[in-house]
Chain A
Amino acid sequence: MKKLRPLIKGIVQLAFWLLVWQILAVFVSKPLLLPSPWHVLLRLFELMRQGAFWGATLTSLVRILLGMILAVCLGCLLAVLTSASKILYMLISPLLAVVRSTPVVSFIMLALLWLGRDVLPAFTAFLMVVPVVWANIYEGIKSTDTDLLQMAKVFGFSRPRAIRRVYAPSVLPFFLSAIRSAIGFAWKAGITAEVLTVPKSSIGRMVYESKLNLETADLFAWTLVVILCSVIIEKLAVSSISRLSGKYEARSVTT
């Protein structure tokens, strides 16, 4: 019963907001402005029967994931380097702070001058995710317990052993948190870039065309696809990382 509780809670939450949406749709009673949830769901199933739906979803998925994976790698590398060198931190941290606080649209417009529209969504996702991953991992490295680091030093841990036994388990919760945020950021930034640059076969193009043709139900359906993809990828990524190093996370949380 205890295991079912979160599921029941989730269903109740979903049902509540679907009900609110349905009431609003009835109240507005103009599907062009606000289609009902049922209408959107039906439209989604219709779209799913078309080959173009899967083509667009898969292309966007690959594009954005590619940008995100590269960003996670670079973010981790920068975190390691900046935590090891004060000079590098001094040089790199302002740049990442600027990237973090600049509106994504500004980057997209600027990058349009340099890059092709097919590459731009991946680049935008990459650019938005690097600072998030860097900040989280850097904080994780810096907050590693100095008592444990001293213990490792006294007992002559080699660098690989110190990384495996002290740093990695300490940083893992920060890494998971980074991945959770990164997936959300990557999707939002990537789809925004697609909407603004309308590359061939992409979710962004579908969203743009739905808006252009006033197909509001399609717009909602595609937005639903973006949300579902984001949630599924986050669950898959977090559960596989947790499974790979499950006990580390469990212990670091409970102690």
Chain B
Amino acid sequence: MISLIDIGVSYAGKAVINGLSMTIAGGERIALTGPSGSGKTTVLNLIAGLTRPQTGKISVSGSVSYVFQEPRLLPWCNALENLNVVMSDSQSTLPQAYEMLRRLGLADAEKKYPHELSGGMQQRLSIGRSLCYGGDILLLDEPLKGMDKALRDDIAALINEKTIGKTLVLASHDSTEIDIFADKVFAYHDRKFEREASV
């Protein structure tokens, strides 16, 4: 369960979020939609504990996994290590990391470093890392951005398969992504995210 009560966030004196309240029940799959700059990523960062609100109260029960908008891979670790590092970071979880690479279609890239991978491959690896970590809540920030249709379908299926029964919060303005992942939508209206009818 995620609960945000009367949250206010401002950067350099400028309010980004003001008086936001929302409750997401365990196992819900919701999407935050709105134009660029509406604060979708900030809400994800609040849930992940990366941004502290100036006002209000946040309560998150369960561990959080996050697919950031940009891959944020460790440049000095190869593809396999980038997955394994969020598990045990030892030999014991290497088979799981390798299996994830295979599911991502990156089995041939296990020894490659991030700078040797294309942007799309890096994004897939970032998704795989979040799925390897597990967690009770998965935050997704435009996860399928820049992927072609066939790849989108495969990766979306993998995400849905690995997050059955888990809470999922998606930030996106792409209707396809919202259709794939979310049951409910919080849309941005009048500087606030408001719950809409089910998708």
- Asked if A252 meets B75 with Cβ closer than 8 Å, knowing A154-B66, A155-B86, A165-B89, the reply is yes
A residues neighboring B (CB under 8 Å): 147-148, 150-151, 153-157, 161, 165-166, 169, 247-248, 251-252, 254-255
Closest A residue, CB atoms, query B86: A155
A154 to B115, CA, bound (A): 23
Contact B65 A155 (CB under 8 A): yes
Q: Taking CB as reference atom, which chain A residue is nearest B133?
A: A155
B113 to A, closest residue via Cβ: A251
CB-based closest 4 A-B pairs: A255-B75, A251-B76, A155-B86, A169-B76
* Contact assessment for A151 and B68 in the assembled complex, using a CB-CB cutoff below 8 Å: yes
The answer to whether A154 touches B64 (Cβ under 8 A) is yes
For this complex, 26 residue pairs linking A to B, each with C-beta atoms less than 8 Å apart, are A147-B70, A150-B50, A150-B72, A151-B66, A151-B68, A151-B72, A153-B49, A153-B50, A154-B48, A154-B49, A154-B64, A154-B65, A155-B85, A155-B86, A155-B129, A155-B133, A156-B86, A165-B74, A247-B76, A251-B115, A252-B75, A252-B76, A254-B113, A254-B115, A255-B75, A255-B113
Q: Is the interface of A mostly helix, strand, loop or mixed?
A: helix
**A153, A161, A169, A248: which contacts B89 (Cβ < 8 A)?**
A161
Q: In the complex, A247 Cα to B115 Cα: how many Å?
A: 13
Contact A165 B77 (CB under 8 A): yes
Number of residues from B at the complex interface, CB < 8 A: 22
Smallest CB–CB gap between A115 and chain B, Å?
43
Q: Mark B109-148, 1 if CB is under 8 A from A, else 0.
A: 0000111000000000000010001000000000000000
Return chain B residues, CB-CB under 8 Å to A254: 75, 113, 115
Task: For residue B59, give the distance in angstroms from its CB to the closest CB of chain A.
Answer: 17
Q: Is B63 an interface residue (CB 8 A)?
A: yes
- In the complex, A108→B129 CA distance in Å? 56
Q: How far is the CB of B5 from chain A (nearest CB, A)?
A: 22
Task: Give the docked Cα–Cα distance between A254 and B115 (Å).
Answer: 8
Which single residue of chain B is at the shortest CB-CB distance from A161?
Answer: B89
Chain A residues in 8 Å Cβ range of B72: 147-148, 150-151
| Across-interface contacts of B49 in A (CB, < 8 A) | 153-154
How far, in whole Å, are A155 and B72 apart by their CA atoms in the complex?
12
A247 to B129, CA, bound (A): 22
Q: Which residues of B contact A147 (CB under 8 A)?
A: 68, 70, 72
Is B76's CB under 8 angstroms from A154's CB?
A: no
A148 to B63, CA, bound (A): 19
Instruction: State how many angstroms separate the Cβ of B134 from the closest Cβ of chain A.
Output: 10
Contact A255 B114 (CB under 8 A): yes
A158 to B71, CA, bound (A): 21
A247: B residues at CB distance < 8 A: 76
In the complex the two chains form, is A255's CB within 8 Å of B115's CB? yes
Inter-chain contacts of A157 with B (CB < 8 A): 85
Alpha-carbon separation in the docked complex, A148 to B113 (Å): 15
A226 nearest CB across to chain B (Å): 36
Interchain nearest-CB distance for A161 vs B (Å) = 6
A-contact 0/1 string along B163-179, CB 8 Å cutoff = 00000000000000000
CA distance A247 to B113 in the complex (A): 11
- Residues of A contacting B76 in the complex (Cβ-Cβ under 8 angstroms): 169, 247-248, 251-252, 255
